[in-house]
Structure 1
Amino acid sequence: MVFQTPIPREYPSYKSPYGPKYHYQPNIAGWTFKQIGRLGLQAGAFGGVALFAVIYYASGIPRVQKDILQKIPFIGSYYIKEIPPSDNPF
């Protein structure tokens, strides 16, 4: 005997109010937007610390002092080295 496929009902199937609440979670290659945001903040924090460390270690280089550090407000005047005329051999 051959059975026909049941006709879909016009009303949705019963969903228990105590069951799990599933919903679509958008993602990009398996990474959710919440994970991407958290990873971006952490990467930015590590990048900021790394940039500070590089500038701190390179602060003794005269070119770095002139091109970068002298242009920072409030601390730029610390890196201006003025040689008195009496110490100039020329």
Structure 2
Amino acid sequence: MFCGIDRWGHLSPEALHPYSVTRVLRWALTRGGVAGERYSGHSLRRGFATWATRNQWSTKALMEYVGWRDVDSALRYVEADAPFGDWLRQLDESK
């Protein structure tokens, strides 16, 4: 999803290493005045899942996009107050 970048700001054709996501995220948040140490790459996945659910993505579409294979995994990432409807019904209908 993110391309690599070196310490001089040059973009790479290669993807950003997965372990670098948290470091870059925390740096950007701190520069924006947010306590960056409270966030990780997991925060991006959780935020995306909640955003997609609130924007009426189907269960199947979200699971395919993120790569989840079961509903239980997906539900752990969606905020409890997100209006996602009946996930199991949606999943059954999409089969």
Q: TM-score, normalised by structure 2?
A: 0.25
- With a CA cutoff of 8 Å and minimum separation of 6, indicate the structure with the bigger relative contact order: 2
Structure (1/2) with the larger helix percentage: 2
